[in-house]
Chain A
Amino acid sequence: MSRPTDLVQGTLDLLVLKMLALQPMHGWAIGERIKQMSKDILQVGPGSLYPALHRLEGAGWISAEWSVSEDKRRVKFYSITKEGRKRLRQEAADWKRLSGAISSIVFES
């Protein structure tokens, strides 16, 4: 289990936005998808994931809707909003710059 402190502050928001930009999904699926796409390196626990979803919803980057999933369960589907996409582009650019800068320092020589 990865506690929120293990992820760089704000990275979780970026990951969640990115996942939802691919397609709308429910909470569990987002966590699974992150895990899968990171090849099991990143594991987001419910203690960080669900508060993050609520925070993003409150900020208006994502919206939520109750619906029925492919396995016929009533789930809360999250999807990214137009402003959320803009936000994602901006955060992704920021992340690229930041991680590039850190890498260039750490892996130099």
Chain B
Amino acid sequence: MRVLRSLRLRLTWLFRRSEVETDLSDELQDYIERQTERHVASGLSPESARLAALRDAGGIEQVKEECRDARGTAWIENTLQDIRFGWRMLRKKPGFTIVAVLTLALGIGATTAIFSVVKAVLLAPLPYKEPNRIVAVWTANPARDNQPHSSTAGDFAAWKQRSGVFEDLAPSYDDEKTLTGEGAPQLLIGYAVSANYLRILGVEPQIGRLYTDQEDRPGVPKVALLSDHLWRTTFHSDPNITGRAITLNGSPYTVLGVMPRGFNYPTTVEVWTPAAMTTASFDDFNHKYVRILGRLRRGVTLTEAQRAINMLEAEVAAAHPDTDTGNRVVLVPLREQLDGDIRKPLLILLSAVGLVLLIACANTAGLALARNAERQKEIGVRLALGATRLRLLRQFAAESLLLATIGGAAGMLLALAGTHLLLMLFPNDVANLNIPKVTQIPMDRGVFLFAAAITLLTALLFGIAPILNAMGSKGGSAMKEPARGSAASAWSSRSRSALVVVEVALSLMLLTGAGLVVASFNKVMNANLGFQPDHVLALEIFLPPNRYPGNDPGKTRALIANVVRKMNVIQGVESAAATNYLPLSGFWGTTAFLLRGQPPPKEGQGPQADNRVLTPNYLHTMKIPLLRGRAFTDADRSGGAQVAMINETLAKRYFHDSDPVGQELNLGTAGKPDWWRIVGVAGDVKAFGQDQPTHADIYRPFDQYPFSIIAFTLRMDTDPAAMMKVAEQALWSVDPDLAIFKSIPMDLLASQTLAVRRASSTLISGFAILALALACIGIYGVMAYAVVQRTQEIGVRMALGAQRADVLRMILGFGFRMTLAGVVIGLAGALAFSRLLASLLFQVSALNPLIFSFASVVLVGMALLASFLPARRATRIDPMQALRAE
């Protein structure tokens, strides 16, 4: 009953405000009248009686306000009123509102967009069982710069046996397959994984079942699991796919099931087959092809596991120094493994965009401060009229919040429009980048919450300074004194100067960062590839072993010779050739080698070189310079003297000053030598990417060393993209059943390799320009306001004889001092920020003095430009008018 009545009353108070207000007035009016009557009765004149009654009440407006507060619904009423009031204030100053909303929208929008990518990639839940315990296990060797790479089957068996930190350890390796009998032959990225590999990941097929340990053995009937993509396309989502027989590499396989749609570990794999490791392979410590996945024991952390393995290795190495290969084990958490090379750029972009957001906050705070300084008098009047400080504070907060909400909403729209642009960070058709597959960046609840959270945060950040400032003003004094004299306005102008300093400092950090990244990108772009990528088309194939068996190399030889001959005569083709691994494509296999007279090293510790195979015309086609000796010729055939070429890196590293031409390389073992005579030295080629170091390479002629991975390269005088069909026809005219893995112009491949770098470079530059523009607006706003504030002072100065040049110098000097302070602080910040950028830098020192000074000069120049307009306005002040103004 009481609650109901109370509720009804509150609703009345809320929704029939004017009525309630009239009632309140009437009620208090009654008091005043009665009190006045009393004073009159005690002998006062009616006029002074009324004044005495009002004095007794202690301010009728204050009493009203306290009554409103006492109702308990006041806060809702007030909030609504505050919002309405805030809205009116924002509409009254459209210039301020538009600039502030735009600034906030850009800051919040950019931050939200980058966050949506971070969330979609780095924070997305992994679809695996307890992914925190899954690690990729790699070998690293000082001889190969400690870069993680595949391990030998022998290492795998040893680690599985003795490590003690793994609950389970599983082998896998690349296994490309050609699918036939389902329309055109199709080259599939295949992956051979042991049965427990899939159990470690904890994935279940969407149709059918995984294979068992019994099916994962050599010599049993072969089985396969299909990817969702392969099942949907080639097999038309056949619901009865399980049990179906398919032909892979000419052998029959039974389809056991289809993996779920999101399952893409490793990325782009289309078919999984049993690894079927033989017992004999576990004695092989030479061939590094096994990629290992492990699940840590429950309760064992990554650091503990790594430490345990390090200790174990040190023990074994100490006990058997003669067999120590120097190999070390590197554990990489699954999350990092999947994020690959995108993790660091994303985190860098997130911090860069965070700086932009901070600048946007500082900017809005500066604008709000300048505007509130104009309202100093209004605030004083309202305080005098009975507004409580709390109420004023709430009004400012409501205004800030309103502004931030509009800015945040606009920012969300910007982010929505912008995320698809960010997909350029993920060129999914590029096989040589180690980045996760991302086809869309969802704007989900998490992103929305994030945007809301940073909107609140910005409101707090830019709203706090004006509030503190306004609270510092005193009711009476603000009314009496002109704004220029009061202590509050001195505080306000100081805080505005501080904000400009902050903005300049933050912008300088971003500007130097962007400068370093862009300079690095240019270096990478212009890095000498070692070959001419323009006007070259590449066609990659993998020969199916059933039709091109390793023990019958004649077929492979004939195929390559015939295809190259056919391609050579295509209209517009200048020359055609073939190699095994394309430059920039990142694939590699290595071969151990020994120099004549060199003592045989310990097993696995000898020098290694990347194993490359070429047709005679390859150097000419790719325009790779020949430094010494000769290139391969048609005379270098099978059965003839075995010849090899080396690259400059190998020549420098192992032959130093002596001439390698004519020397011999043992590409077999110490006990069973296989000698190849060096006939020439070729220039270095970027094999792994423009920003990656070149390895030592050994080239051998295809005819003497047939290889089942082939990339044909054609140099032409026309657009290579237009020649794709013709080139493919030339291949199929020799063997119509060959599946083409990829045809791509080499300059496109070169450009795609730089996709992540280009995207991060573009984005960070964009952020820096945005920061610079925001800082300029901020400086302009503060300077323009300072000139208005000092109009009288300037007028006095000019009346006393100051020249226009003096005034100009004074105002510019003020701007310059703030900028300089910002630059000094910013340089310190930039030093810290550039360290963070290290992974995006290439041949550019993080402390590059040129870029640091250039960024400072640009910033100072822009700041002076932004202060120049207000300064010029100051010189046009008419002293007479300025003095009369007050």
Interface positions of A (Cβ within 8 A of B): 1, 26-28, 45-47, 50-52, 54-55, 57-61, 63, 66, 73-76, 81-83
Measured CA separation A71–B16 after assembly (Å):
29
**B10: chain A residues within 8 A (beta carbon):** 58
Q: A47-B57, A63-B5, A76-B23 are in contact. Are A55 and B71 (CB under 8 A)?
A: yes
Interface string of B27-43 (1 = CB under 8 A from A): 11011011000000000
- Indicate whether B72 reaches chain A with its CB closer than 8 angstroms: yes
Q: Select the residue from A27, A58, A73 with max chain B CB neighbours within 10 A.
A: A58
| CB–CB A54/B71 < 8 A | yes
| CB–CB B34/A28 < 8 A | yes
Query: Shortest distance in angstroms between B666's beta carbon and chain A's nearest beta carbon?
Result: 98
| CB–CB B1/A46 < 8 A | no
| CB–CB B31/A27 < 8 A | yes
| CB–CB B30/A60 < 8 A | no
| CB–CB B3/A60 < 8 A | yes
- Indicate whether B2 reaches chain A with its CB closer than 8 angstroms: yes
Q: A45-B57, A50-B63 are in contact. Are A58 and B30 (CB under 8 A)?
A: no
| CB–CB B67/A54 < 8 A | yes
Q: Which of B6, B56, B67 contacts A60 (CB 8 A)?
A: B6
Q: A45-B58, A46-B63 are in contact. Are A59 and B6 (CB under 8 A)?
A: yes
Q: A45-B57, A58-B71 are in contact. Are A50 and B23 (CB under 8 A)?
A: no
| CB–CB B31/A46 < 8 A | yes
| CB–CB B2/A46 < 8 A | no
| CB–CB B71/A27 < 8 A | no
Measured CA separation A83–B59 after assembly (Å):
33
| CB–CB B9/A57 < 8 A | yes
Measured CA separation A89–B69 after assembly (Å):
27
- Indicate whether B62 reaches chain A with its CB closer than 8 angstroms: yes
| CB–CB B5/A51 < 8 A | no
Q: Select the residue from B31, B68, B71, B72 with max chain A CB neighbours within 10 A.
A: B31
**A28: chain B residues within 8 A (beta carbon):** 30-31, 34
A-B contacts at CB below 8 angstroms, number: 78
**A52: chain B residues within 8 A (beta carbon):** 70
Known: A27-B30, A66-B23, A83-B2. 7 other contacts (CB 8 A): A27-B31, A45-B56, A45-B58, A51-B67, A58-B10, A60-B2, A76-B23
Q: A26-B30, A58-B9 are in contact. Are A47 and B58 (CB under 8 A)?
A: yes
- Indicate whether B73 reaches chain A with its CB closer than 8 angstroms: yes
The chain A residue with its CB closest to the CB of B33 is: A73
The chain A residue with its CB closest to the CB of B34 is: A28
| CB–CB B70/A51 < 8 A | yes
The chain B residue with its CB closest to the CB of A56 is: B70
Q: Select the residue from A26, A51, A74 with max chain B CB neighbours within 10 A.
A: A51
**B33: chain A residues within 8 A (beta carbon):** 73
The chain A residue with its CB closest to the CB of B58 is: A47
| CB–CB A54/B70 < 8 A | yes
Query: Shortest distance in angstroms between A3's beta carbon and chain B's nearest beta carbon?
Result: 8
Rank and list the top 5 A-B pairs by shortest CB-CB distance, nearest first.
A60-B2, A51-B70, A60-B6, A55-B70, A83-B2
| CB–CB A58/B57 < 8 A | no
Measured CA separation A54–B27 after assembly (Å):
11
Q: A60-B6, A66-B23, A83-B1 are in contact. Are A55 and B72 (CB under 8 A)?
A: yes
Query: Shortest distance in angstroms between B604's beta carbon and chain A's nearest beta carbon?
Result: 86
| CB–CB B72/A58 < 8 A | yes
**Chain B stretch 37-68: residues in CB contact (< 8 A) with chain A:** 56-59, 62-63, 66-68
| CB–CB B27/A50 < 8 A | yes
- Indicate whether B130 reaches chain A with its CB closer than 8 angstroms: no
**B1: chain A residues within 8 A (beta carbon):** 82-83
Measured CA separation A45–B66 after assembly (Å):
13
Query: Shortest distance in angstroms between B178's beta carbon and chain A's nearest beta carbon?
Result: 82
**B21: chain A residues within 8 A (beta carbon):** none
- Indicate whether B26 reaches chain A with its CB closer than 8 angstroms: yes
**A58: chain B residues within 8 A (beta carbon):** 6, 9-10, 13, 70-73
21 pairs, CB–CB < 8 Å, chain A vs chain B: A27-B30, A28-B30, A45-B57, A45-B58, A47-B62, A50-B27, A50-B31, A50-B63, A51-B63, A51-B67, A54-B67, A54-B68, A54-B71, A55-B72, A58-B13, A58-B70, A58-B71, A59-B2, A75-B30, A76-B23, A82-B1
| CB–CB B27/A81 < 8 A | no
Interface positions of B (Cβ within 8 A of A): 1-3, 5-6, 9-10, 13, 23, 26-28, 30-31, 33-34, 56-59, 62-63, 66-73
| CB–CB B9/A47 < 8 A | no
The chain B residue with its CB closest to the CB of A55 is: B70
Measured CA separation A28–B66 after assembly (Å):
17
Measured CA separation A27–B618 after assembly (Å):
105
Q: Select the residue from B6, B27, B59, B67 with max chain A CB neighbours within 10 A.
A: B27
| CB–CB A51/B31 < 8 A | no
**B56: chain A residues within 8 A (beta carbon):** 1, 45-46
Measured CA separation A74–B29 after assembly (Å):
11
The chain B residue with its CB closest to the CB of A87 is: B2
Measured CA separation A28–B33 after assembly (Å):
10
| CB–CB B5/A60 < 8 A | yes
The chain B residue with its CB closest to the CB of A61 is: B2
**A27: chain B residues within 8 A (beta carbon):** 27, 30-31
Q: Select the residue from A27, A46, A60, A74 with max chain B CB neighbours within 10 A.
A: A46
**B34: chain A residues within 8 A (beta carbon):** 28
| CB–CB A81/B9 < 8 A | no
Measured CA separation A56–B33 after assembly (Å):
24
Q: A58-B6, A76-B23 are in contact. Are A51 and B66 (CB under 8 A)?
A: yes
**A45: chain B residues within 8 A (beta carbon):** 56-58
Measured CA separation A66–B24 after assembly (Å):
11
| CB–CB A51/B69 < 8 A | yes
Q: Select the residue from B2, B6, B57 with max chain A CB neighbours within 10 A.
A: B2
| CB–CB B6/A47 < 8 A | no
Q: A60-B2, A81-B2 are in contact. Are A46 and B73 (CB under 8 A)?
A: no
Query: Shortest distance in angstroms between A46's beta carbon and chain B's nearest beta carbon?
Result: 5
| CB–CB B70/A46 < 8 A | no
**A76: chain B residues within 8 A (beta carbon):** 23, 26-27, 30
**B67: chain A residues within 8 A (beta carbon):** 50-51, 54
Measured CA separation A52–B63 after assembly (Å):
11
Query: Shortest distance in angstroms between A23's beta carbon and chain B's nearest beta carbon?
Result: 18
The chain B residue with its CB closest to the CB of A50 is: B67
**B26: chain A residues within 8 A (beta carbon):** 74, 76
The chain B residue with its CB closest to the CB of A28 is: B34
Measured CA separation A52–B62 after assembly (Å):
14
Measured CA separation A57–B5 after assembly (Å):
9
**B28: chain A residues within 8 A (beta carbon):** 46, 50
The chain A residue with its CB closest to the CB of B68 is: A54
Query: Shortest distance in angstroms between B312's beta carbon and chain A's nearest beta carbon?
Result: 73
Query: Shortest distance in angstroms between A1's beta carbon and chain B's nearest beta carbon?
Result: 7
Measured CA separation A68–B59 after assembly (Å):
26
**A54: chain B residues within 8 A (beta carbon):** 67-68, 70-71
Measured CA separation A31–B30 after assembly (Å):
13
Measured CA separation A75–B29 after assembly (Å):
10
**B27: chain A residues within 8 A (beta carbon):** 27, 50, 75-76
Measured CA separation A50–B71 after assembly (Å):
11
**A57: chain B residues within 8 A (beta carbon):** 9, 71
Query: Shortest distance in angstroms between A49's beta carbon and chain B's nearest beta carbon?
Result: 9
Measured CA separation A61–B9 after assembly (Å):
12
**A46: chain B residues within 8 A (beta carbon):** 28, 31, 56-58, 63
**B13: chain A residues within 8 A (beta carbon):** 58
Query: Shortest distance in angstroms between B8's beta carbon and chain A's nearest beta carbon?
Result: 10
